[in-house]
Amino acid sequence: MYEPYFGMEFNPFNKTNSQKYPFESGDFKEAMSRLEHLKNINGIGLFTGLPGMGKTYTLKQFVDKLNPNLYKVIYIPLSTITVREFYKALAYGLGVEPVQNKVDIFRP
């Protein structure tokens, strides 16, 4: 009796293959589309979701396609920081030494 062969050449869910062969679910494609839209309009967005839903993976896939000469990506993985800590992390990411006095942070 003939048995069809459905072999795969690689495991698409193996972490070593995930960057080279991303699993493009509907949600992944939608997120990439929205990120592309934000890029095109020079927008700022907020990317949220439950743990393990693929936020970091999707952002990594998107960032890897950006021209590093045109875009500066700053990754702040901490979710429980104060406003002041956020500004300090942003300054460090931009290569700027943050000021120490609170009033200097918000000076125009």
Give mean pLDDT, residues 2-9: 54
The structure tokens listed for 92 are 């460090």
Q: Can you give the pLDDT at residue 98? A: 83
Residue with the bigger pLDDT between 104 and 95: it is: 95
Q: Can you give the pLDDT at residue 54? A: 86
* Predicted confidence (pLDDT) per residue in 64-84, tens digit: 999 999 988 888 888 789 988
* Predicted confidence (pLDDT) per residue in 18-64, tens digit: 566 667 888 899 999 999 999 999 888 888 888 888 888 899 999 99
Measure the CA angle with vertex 18, ends 90 and 9; round to 5°: 170
